[in-house]
Amino acid sequence: MLSSAEHVALRTEVARSSTILSPSTIVPAQRAAILALAIVKPEIRLDAESVTLTPHAVQRYRERVEGVQRRIAVRRLRWLVATADWQHRPRSWTEIVLHPDVVYGYSPDRPDVCLLVRDTALVTVLSQRFLAQAIPLPRSRRAG
């Protein structure tokens, strides 16, 4: 499994390549990274009780989703983790770099909120509103 830094370096290296990659030109590390992102994986089973809420994730929830007290944010995050549908790929509105060792959670109660879990730790929280404000749309996707 590649680390995040290796994954980003590999992605940059592949993007810079001006030739079309064929199976004979792909090095084993590149092949492993491509397959880790491309192959459909089985349904994710995540035990909500075993997920650790990091202080960073709680703070990001308060900044990006609701400006509530910390204890309320913890309670709401616990509920979102418990009710989330876990996926290996983020939804289309979640414009972030894929990481093979991260799972993305979306609760039916808050489909506009994305939970990122690595191993058993909730590492950060994104919201559709936050991403819309932080990342301007390309010209081709803007209205008008």
Tell me the chain's radius of gyration from C-alpha atoms: 17
Q: How far, in Å, CA of 101 to CA of 138, rounded?
A: 28
Q: Per the confidence metrics, is the pTM higher than 0.85?
A: no
Token output for 138 = 């390309």
| Per-residue pLDDT reduced to its tens digit, 76-122 | 999 999 999 999 889 888 878 788 789 999 999 999 999 999 999 99
Report the largest interatomic distance among the alpha carbons of the chain, rounded to a whole angstrom: 55
pLDDT at 111: 95
